Amino acid sequence: MGYPHTSHPRETAILSKYFGDAEARTLDGWRARGGYDALQQALNTDPQELQTIVKDSGLRGRGGAGFPTGLKWSFMKPDGKIHYMLCNADESEPGTFKDREIMRWTPHGLVEGVALAAHSIYAETAYIYIRGEFTEPYARVTKAVEEAYAAGVLGANAMGSGRRVDVHVHRGAGAYICGEETALMNSLEGRRGNPRIKPPFPAVAGLFGKPTTINNVETLATVPYIIKNGAEWYKQFGRADNPKSIGTKLFSVCGNITRPGNYEVALGFPFKDFLYDLCGGPLPGREIKAVIPGGSSVPILTREEAENTIMDYEGMVAAGTLLGSGGVIVFDDRQDMVRQIARLVRFYAHESCAQCTQCREGTAWTLRIMERIRDGEGTAEDLDTLLSIADNMTGKTICVLSDSCATPVVSGLKKFRGEFEAKIAQNRSVVSARGPIRATAA
Amino acid sequence: MSHGPSATGGALVAAPPHGHHHDAPHVPVFTDLARAALDTIMSRYPTKQAALLPALWLVQDARGWVSEASMEEVAGLLEITPAYVKGVTSFYTMYHQHPVGRHFIQVCTTTPCNVCGAEDVVSALLEHSGCGDLGLTSADGRFTVVEVECLGACGFPTPIMINNDFVESLTPESVPRILSELK
């Protein structure tokens, strides 16, 4: 079932099948739809075997980085230590709103996936960290957890398996950076959400210093289907010639597009068909000018580039961008790219945790320069300065927020340089009307 | 955390006329039910400090904002210093460190909403709420309007949050009706 639009025949609805179906929200409703069968089965299966099934399925992390899920799980061994399972529900990458719908419509699907994952990594305790602004998803997931405890699905003897599985819901309080996995751990521990230096990686020392696995909502919601139907079943979704991108993916579509919303397609879907066929293309009388395909942190594509791209991890890389979180932001021909890139930079400047100098200073200075170019007060030299700052912000900090701020600036300057130069030319005329042209504008 | 005018506006908020006085004696938040709720929360974590964000939420739910006296109370319960609690509180944009209007309105103006006209929604909210500017509270104490970075509802532009409630697909035209429903 599609949401909020009606489902398109070319969608492959697995995760989104029950979006818009209010009965799927309750424990009984979820069970009636086959829910918790996978958990029951998993709790009576050796974790090692579950790790192998997920590894064989080819599932990769849906939060943005695309790390193989089964491989991540396989770092967790039966070492007798306390382990933690963490669900990253701090969805806040601009353009992305898929986890929100999973939590709003199928909260039990997430709880099932989290509990299943906890058992698979030898953990008895799991936490779901939900961003502070997601009040409805928080209420839905909290209710699902309460229902699951009341029915004995969770607790000291989860589904009668004799195993303990506890799931707790934790609410954030407004900080994009807490979607970074180690910042999320600090935040959950009651600290400022500053990312941690890696190594040690979470599998060695994560939450409360203990071995931890952290996965995105969409990833965890997918796992029960794989356990129930098998790795081979999951492998049918994707391009036959690309074994590296398997499965379905939820794409959130927003901006200047006829039918915004969430769409679930098999990886390898042609981006052109997606934009025009499924999402209805641009608004009447408009043309698509640019597309950010994977959340605001990935390079911008021109319309021509987007139309020739395949929607999977490798297809996006071949086009010079990334699949990321699957947040598709569409800009039409009315949009001033300098203005919109400046607005994106403002997002990152606001959200920098200010821990690393390159990010704290880099985001703030990039913002000032972008805004003065936007306001017709920039100089030609500013373009070189922006690229120089971007270079110093890339690959030099504890986390990638800094890199993410540089990305739209660098890709925007490469693909829409004319718009930047037109703004700067505007400055020259204003200055020359009043007096001599500034030396820096030469 | 903030470099611009889109911080939640705490530092910019004028003292509201309906008045919370900083020098009034602190009435503890964590008695009876709130204390029981905090104890339940604390039982879920191996450290007391992990209950800090939930504790601050309980304070804000009870009082509408998080005062320094409340931070001290939380610090005592979780066995950390008041300065540490303040450091954490000030990191997160959703905790109000000053009183705000009865209806605290956060408008998303990040790129996906921006390209769909979010700034016009902001103008309409400022005009019809009587707030005058972002971060200020209206003279009648009803409203505070702030910009917020990405509410994660990009397919429903423009989304706003009114206290804990989401309203989606706002337009400048729908603003007067939405505001008139808030007393």
Cα-Cα-Cα-Cα dihedral sign, residues A391, A397, A399, A405? negative
Q: How many whole angstroms separate alpha carbon A41 and alpha carbon A341?
A: 49
Of A119, A215, A222, A224, the residue nearest A165 (C-alpha): A119
Q: Is A344 helix (H, G, I), strand (E, B) or coil?
A: helix
Q: Which of A22, A184, A219 is nearest to A113 (CA)?
A: A219
Contacts with A131 from chain B: Cβ below 8 Å:
152
Say if residue B7's pLDDT is above 50.
Answer: no
Per-residue model confidence (pLDDT) at position B17:
42
State whether A174 and B94 contact (CB < 8 Å): yes
Give the number of other CB atoms < 10 A from CB of residue B127: 14
Task: Report the amino acid identity of residue A294.
Answer: G
DSSP class per residue in A411-426: HHHHHSHHHHHHHHHH
Q: Is the pLDDT score of B66 beyond 60? A: yes
List beta partners, residue A84.
A125, A212
Read off the pLDDT of residues A68-125 as tens digits, 9 standing for 90 and up: 999 999 999 999 999 999 999 999 999 999 999 999 999 999 999 999 999 999 999 9
Asked whether the predicted pLDDT for residue B5 surpasses 50, the reply is: no
| Alpha-helix residue ranges (DSSP H) falling in chain B | 32-42, 52-63, 68-78, 82-91, 111-114, 118-129, 175-180
Which pLDDT score, from 0 to 100, does residue B115 have?
97
Decide if B91 touches A, using CB distance below 8 A. Answer: yes
The verdict on a CB contact (< 8 Å) between A190 and B115 is no
For chain B positions 122-141, those within 8 Å of chain A (CB to CB) are none
Closest CB to B50: pick one of A97, A188, A261: A188
- What is the pLDDT, as a whole number, of residue A2? 56
Q: Measuring CA to CA, which residue among B31, B93, B105 is closest to residue B63? A: B31
Q: What is the pLDDT of residues B106-131, one digit of tens each?
A: 999 999 999 999 999 999 999 999 99
Q: Is B43 on the interface with A (CB under 8 A)?
A: no
Query: Which of the residues B113, B149, B167 would you substitute to probe the A interface, choosing the one with the greatest number of A C-beta atoms within 10 Å?
Result: B149
* Residue of A191, A251, A252, A286 best to disrupt the B interface, most CBs of B under 10 A: A191
- Give the integer Cα–Cα distance in Å for A114 and A224: 9
Helix, coil or strand: residue B121: helix
In degrees and rounded to multiples of 5, residue A158 shows phi and psi of -60, 120
Going residue by residue through chain A, which has 442 residues, state the pLDDT in tens, using 9 for 90 and above.
557 778 899 999 999 999 999 999 999 999 999 999 999 999 999 999 999 999 999 999 999 999 999 999 999 999 999 999 999 999 999 999 999 999 999 999 999 999 999 999 999 999 999 999 999 999 999 999 999 999 999 999 999 999 999 999 999 999 999 999 999 999 999 999 999 999 999 999 999 999 999 999 999 999 999 999 999 999 999 998 999 999 999 999 999 999 999 999 999 999 999 999 999 999 999 999 999 999 999 999 999 999 999 999 999 999 999 999 999 999 999 999 999 999 999 999 999 999 999 999 999 999 999 999 999 999 999 999 999 999 999 999 999 999 999 999 999 999 999 999 999 998 765 554 445 444 444 3
Chain B nearest-CA distance from A228, in A, is 30
Q: pTM score, two decimals?
A: 0.94
- With contact defined as beta carbons under 8 Å apart, do B154 and A96 qualify? yes
Q: Which two tokens stand for residue A237?
A: 């979704």
Give every CB contact of residue A161 below 8 A, 6+ residues apart in sequence: A40, A43, A44
State which residue of chain B sits closest to A135, comparing Cα positions.
B164
CB-based contact A174 B156, cutoff 8 Å: no
Q: What is the sign, positive or negative, of the torsion defined by CA atoms of A344, A350, A352, A354?
A: positive
Contacts of B51 in chain A (CB under 8 A): 190
Count Cβ neighbours within 10 Å for each residue of A431-442 and write b for 16 or more, e otherwise: beeeeeeeeebe
By residue count, chain A amounts to 442
With CB atoms and an 8 Å threshold, state whether B152 touches A354: no
Predicted pLDDT of residue A7: 86
CB nearest to A347's CB, from B116, B150, B155: B150
Contact B57 A176 (CB under 8 A): no
Write down the pLDDT at residue A427: 79
Interface mutation vs chain B, best among A90, A96, A97, A325, most B CBs within 10 Å: A97
CA distance A282 to A256: 6
Q: Chain-centre distance of CA A124, in angstroms?
A: 26
Answer whether residue B30 shows pLDDT above 90: yes
Q: Count of A–B CB contacts within 8 Å?
A: 158
pLDDT over 70 (residue B98):
yes
Q: How far is Cα A256 from Cα B128, in angstroms, rounded to an integer? A: 27
CA distance B29 to A193: 25
Which spans in A308-354 are helix H?
A: 313-318, 337-351
Global ipTM: 0.93
